[in-house]
Structure 1
Amino acid sequence: MKGDKEDVGAGCAMRGPGRRSGSGSSRQAVLDAARMRFANDGFAATTMRRVAADAGVDVSMVMQFFGSKDRLFAAVMNIPASALERLGEVFEGADEHLGERVVRTFFKAWEGAPEESEPLMAMLRNAMVNEQARLHLRDYIESRLAMGGTATLGSNARLRAGLALSMLVGVFTGRQIIAVPVLAAAEREILVAMLAPGIQQTLLPAG
């Protein structure tokens, strides 16, 4: 991200007084600082430079540990960065199959391999009862909208992508958290077939 690149340049100067050395404790300090920043400021307003300052390290060290703000967020949430990247890229290539592709990608992430689905479901479950977890879920959704893939969707892209994301999160809430019997028992392919047209219309309205 542009802001992150600017942060790196600003942080490459000589380490100031009180700065930590590159150790395991420094990495944990960065994670702790990032967790607070994401919770208090949100994904969009959080910068690598601010996280580095909070942690008492150079921003170049944060980049060395995590590579990007998105990967830092993934580490804070205990979600594989590959899952975040895939979910962010799913909006690219707007076409007549976009709705189905988005739905299938979300099912794969939220109900697929445990290393990806379990952290996502834990975040969703915690958001039902914990304010900080709700902020994390909010930032998770915001992070997907901030990755740039929505640029192919035209006008009001972020709003329409946000609606689609919220619809799908609602489905997984009803299916996995509340366990609405008809949703919990439904076969995935049936749900994909029923959801895809609505997500398609939300993302790429006709006309």
Structure 2
Amino acid sequence: MTEHPDEPKPPARRGRRPGRNTTRQAVLDAARRLFATNGFKDTTIRAVAAEAGVDAALVMQFFRSKDELFGAVMSLSPDALTRIAGAFGGPADSVGERVVRAHLDVWEGDGPDGEALRAMLRGAITNTRANTQLREFIEARLSEDAAQFGSDVQDAAIRVALAASMLIGLTVGRQIVRVTLLAEEEREAVVRRMGPALQAVLLPAP
């Protein structure tokens, strides 16, 4: 059909071209795997691009820096947060074991959440931003529910910090440094051993 000069042209299509979202997700998935395996320092934009099968310049179009890419990788599913927070439900006398079990289930999982958290932990060793993300994530997850076990705000804050440090140390020993005996120990055996210790921190005897 012939166009007339005075006839309005159809509006230009806006938004991202088809496939862009899929490519961005492929970059995120590749970065998540590499951060979890190599840590923040040894993961490069070029390596992420190669893993995703795209050009490094395209990765920089999506994420302006490695820090920004790392921040995007840290997004976790609502299910992971619910599982950790849900550990505080139920009888108070077994909360220690439930929290340890939930922590291990999420942090040692084979899915995206476990990979993201391990990447966060590796990155926290060398990157200040990742360190802050890790600290805030763990303390927030614990403090939201641990506060119900005591009215002394300062005391509760210290107990939360101790519990968070214990859980981080557990993951470092099993997943990052891989202390042989600890890394090879069955998960439920670790829960039984560490649960009472975390219980004593979160719910000290009157």
TM-score normalised to structure 2 length: 0.59
Could you say what secondary structure the match of 1:96 adopts? Answer: helix
Corresponding position of 2:54: none
**Alignment check: 8 A CA contact 1:90 1:102 kept:** yes
Return the match for 2:102 from 92, 100, 105: 105
Could you say what secondary structure the match of 1:202 adopts? Answer: helix
- Report how many aligned residue pairs link the two structures: 138
Could you say what secondary structure the match of 1:128 adopts? Answer: helix
Structure 2 gap segments, 5+ residues each: 1-14, 17-70
Corresponding position of 1:195: 194
Shift of 1:92: 4.2
Tell whether 2:167 aligns with 1:171: no
Alpha-carbon distance in structure 2 between the residues aligned to 1:129 and 1:84: 25
Shift of 1:139: 1.9
Q: Structure 1 vs Structure 2: percent identity of aligned residues?
A: 44
Alpha-carbon distance in structure 1 between the residues aligned to 2:166 and 2:84: 15
Tell which structure's C-alpha radius of gyration is larger. Answer: 2
**Residue 195 to residue 145, structure 1, CA distance change in 2 (3 Å):** closer
**Alignment check: 8 A CA contact 1:145 1:161 kept:** yes
Corresponding position of 2:204: 205
Corresponding position of 1:183: 182
Superposed CA deviations along residues 155-204 of structure 1, whole A, max 9, x for unmatched, are 32232122112101111011111111111111112111110110111111
Corresponding position of 2:126: 129
Tell me the C-alpha RMSD between the 2 structures. Answer: 2.7
Aligned structure 1 segments of 4 or more residues deviating by more than 4 angstroms = none
| Mapping for residues 61-80 of structure 1, pairs under 5 Å | 77-80=74-77
Tell whether 2:151 aligns with 1:152: no
Shift of 1:82: 2.0
Shift of 1:130: 1.6
| Mapping for residues 36-55 of structure 1, pairs under 5 Å | none
After superposing the two structures, state which structure 1 stretch, 86-95 or 181-190, moved more.
86-95
Structure 1 gap segments, 5+ residues each: 1-22, 25-73
Alpha-carbon distance in structure 2 between the residues aligned to 1:157 and 1:92: 18
TM-score normalised to structure 1 length: 0.59
